[in-house]
């Protein structure tokens, strides 16, 4: 026995369930499309032709990352084109094969973050057993040709000197990037500005994830900590501006895509140690008549390798900076100097306490000098220590 209105309620519930499922499916498709727009990866794209230049459809394309042995698959479409997206930056070897054709293997290809390598395979009719290797290196092209970008690779990060070991300072090597004078201090390079736009309009991505401080609108850890990432764990990064894709977005200036290192099928590691000690020489600080005892230690190590070959890997890095540089406080008492004319200043090292010649107040030289002598007793060398450490 049914109550009045119950069939109508059942119908509404069924419609709601259908709409909910459709909405869920839409979210899944949207998420799949979003994965195809990851800004921290590269791509391999190209075309497969036969000996006469005609396109080959349904050809199998396999790309193998040399460091890890992981395989990525694709197939050509009706125009003979293929695309392998979402490839982690690194060295790859690609292979194309089709029914009745001899397979072809490309040489080692370097896939860079935010860029696509273009490949052209030309397959011949298969003989008894025949394999052809592509002889010329593939050309590199930007994934979005409308954007302006510059890549800082692992070799530059490793070999170029950095004062403070903040890898993002290498962005100054890119065209159009300068120090934002509004954030520049004696102890920091300040924000990095692109095209004259305020530095906080630059967005930073690390392995495709947001790395911005929502309050200060800067990269996390920048200028409020010694550094966030050790140079040893950064593989490469790219700065993009003026036309970067929507997947980067949310920036009025530039977008910096950073990729960290990964483990491979072979165990590998690195270690470093840097020592700076005043006992080993060095100039005295400016305006100080001696060289105070100070020392700095910076050391770290990385290790990476397979947990399960060609499937699961580990990579770890550690960096520590011990900074012992004292603060020296001195007061220059000087001598009383009288300037006979307005605009004529005392000689260097002296201070003008009063100037009766131009109608100034009575000189309190004795009181001023006594106060300066009292301040001088408060001067000296004050111990200061800074410990910075980071791990990945």
Which residue shows structure tokens 């840097």? 274
Percent of the chain exceeding pLDDT 70 equals 69
- pLDDT category at 379 given cuts 50, 70, 90 is confident
Confidence of residue 63 (pLDDT cuts 50, 70, 90): very high
Q: Are 237 and 113 in contact (CB under 8 A)?
A: yes
pLDDT tens per residue across span 340-350:
444 444 444 44
Q: How far is CA 372 from CA 52, 348, 355, in A?
A: 92, 17, 19
pLDDT on residue 6: 47
pLDDT digits 0-9 by tens, 137-151 = 555 555 445 556 788
Q: Which two tokens stand for residue 161?
A: 């000197």
Residue 152 forms beta bridges with which residues? 237
What confidence tens digit (pLDDT) does each residue in 199-221 have?
777 888 888 888 887 777 677 76
Domains of the chain by start residue, with CATH: 42-142 (2.60.40.1120), 144-260 (2.170.130.10), 327-386 (no CATH)
Q: What does each C-alpha distance from 320 to 13, 187, 274 come to in angstroms?
A: 60, 19, 10
Please provide the average confidence, as pLDDT, over all residues in the chain: 76
Taking 50 as the threshold, does the pLDDT of residue 306 lie above it?
yes
Checking if the pLDDT of 174 tops 60, the result is yes
pLDDT over threshold 70, residue 280: yes
d(CA 60, CA 58): 6
Nearest 5°: phi and psi at 337?
-130, 135
Which one, of 371, 370, 280, 381, lies nearest residue 325 by Cα?
Answer: 381
Task: Report the range of poorest mean pLDDT among 180-189, 235-244, 310-319, 332-341.
Answer: 332-341
Q: In terms of pLDDT, which residue wins out, 264 or 23?
A: 264
**Would you say residue 133 has pLDDT above 50?**
yes
pTM above 0.75, yes or no: no
């Amino acid at each position: 026995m049914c109550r009045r209105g119950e069939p109508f309620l059942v119908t509404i519930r069924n419609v709601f369930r259908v709409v909910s499922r459709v909405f869920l499916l839409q979210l899944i498709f949207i998420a799949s499309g979003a994965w195809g727009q990851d800004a921290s990866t590269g791509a391999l794209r190209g075309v497969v032709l036969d000996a006469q230049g005609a396109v080959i459809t349904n050809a199998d394309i396999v790309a193998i990352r040399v460091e890890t042995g992981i395989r990525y698959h694709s197939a050509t479409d009706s125009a003979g084109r293929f695309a392998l997206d979402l490839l982690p930056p690194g060295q790859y070897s690609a292979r194309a094969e089709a029914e009745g054709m001899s397979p072809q293997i490309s040489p080692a290809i370097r896939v860079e973050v935010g860029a696509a390598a273009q490949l052209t395979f030309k397959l011949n009719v298969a003989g008894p057993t025949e394999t052809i290797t592509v002889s010329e290196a593939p050309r590199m092209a930007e994934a979005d040709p409308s954007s302006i970008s510059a890549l800082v690779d692992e070799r530059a990060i490793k070999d170029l000197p950095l004062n403070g070991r903040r890898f993002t300072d290498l962005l100054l090597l890119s065209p159009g990037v300068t120090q934002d004078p509004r954030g520049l201090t004696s102890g920091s390079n300040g924000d990095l500005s692109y095209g004259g736009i305020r530095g906080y309009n630059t967005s930073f991505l690390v392995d495709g994830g947001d790395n911005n401080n929502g309050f200060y609108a800067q990269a996390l850890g920048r200028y409020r900590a010694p550094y966030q990432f050790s140079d040893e764990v950064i593989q490469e990064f790219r700065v993009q501006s003026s036309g970067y894709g929507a997947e980067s977005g949310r920036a009025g200036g530039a977008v910096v895509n950073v990729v960290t290192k990964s483990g491979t099928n072979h165990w590998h590691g690195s270690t470093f140690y840097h020592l700076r000690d005043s006992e080993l020489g060095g100039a005295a600080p400016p305006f100080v008549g001696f060289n105070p005892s100070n020392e700095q230690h910076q050391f770290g190590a990385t290790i990476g390798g397979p947990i399960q070959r060609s499937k699961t890997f580990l990579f770890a890095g550690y960096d520590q900076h011990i900074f012992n540089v004292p603060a020296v406080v001195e007061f220059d008492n000087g001598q009383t100097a009288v300037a006979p004319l307005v605009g004529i200043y005392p000689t260097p090292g002296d201070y003008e306490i009063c100037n009766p010649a131009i109608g100034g107040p009575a000189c309190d030289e004795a009181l001023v000098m006594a106060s300066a002598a009292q301040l001088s007793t408060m001067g000296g060398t004050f111990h200061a220590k800074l410990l910075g450490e980071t791990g990945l």
